[in-house]
């Protein structure tokens, strides 16, 4: 499911504290983005149509909750990036980022531990 950058802000708010009412979503998302209430409601409606979120009534108010888990979204987005920019290969992506910014000693150690763990599996 394709979620736009703007829609992702709404999803992040819901992942952080679902379920949220429309007013809570507006307060959580609009100020940082410089958006008005109508913009947030438009994004909510788009996400409802895509099946990314669901709405329900409770105590006389509407509440929204994500239908897609954040880790599922991150996995799909990561795989898309890997496929589009690096032909689906992980090593060239890691090399690209490692050459563009210096890795701290801690990051290098974490990468070594990860490779060791993968070798053991």
* pLDDT tens column, 50-79: 999 999 999 999 999 999 999 999 999 999
In this predicted structure, the answer to whether residue 110 has a pLDDT above a threshold of 90 is yes
Domain extent listing, the chain: 5-66, 89-121
Q: What integer pLDDT is reported at residue 97 of this predicted model?
A: 86
This prediction has a pTM of 0.79
pLDDT in tens, 84-100: 999 999 899 988 988 89
Closest CA to 45 of 32, 33, 62: 62
Structure tokens given for 54: 């669901």
Alpha-carbon dihedral 55, 58, 62, 67, rounded to 10 degrees = -20
Question: Residue 60: is it exposed, middle or buried by C-beta count within 10 angstroms (0-12/13-18/19+)?
Answer: exposed
Q: CB burial class (10 A; 0-12, 13-18, 19+) of residue 5? A: exposed
What is the arithmetic mean of pLDDT over 30-43?
Answer: 96
CATH number of 5-66: 1.10.10.10
- Distance CA(62)–CA(19), nearest Å, equals 9
Q: Cα separation of 89 and 83, whole Å?
A: 7
With a cut of 80, say whether residue 1 has pLDDT above it: no
């Amino acid at each position: 499911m394709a979620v736009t950058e703007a829609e992702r802000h709404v999803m992040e708010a819901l992942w952080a504290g679902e379920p949220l009412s429309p007013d809570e979503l507006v307060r959580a998302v609009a100020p940082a983005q410089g958006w008005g209430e109508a913009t947030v409601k438009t994004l909510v409606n788009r996400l409802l149509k895509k099946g990314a979120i669901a709405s329900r009534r409770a105590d006389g108010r509407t509440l929204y909750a994500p239908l897609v888990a954040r880790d599922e979204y991150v996995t799909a987005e990561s795989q898309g990036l890997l496929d589009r920019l690096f032909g689906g290969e992980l090593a060239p992506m890691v090399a690209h980022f490692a050459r563009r910014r210096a890795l701290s000693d801690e990051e290098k150690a974490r990468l070594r531990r990860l490779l060791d763990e993968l070798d053991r599996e």
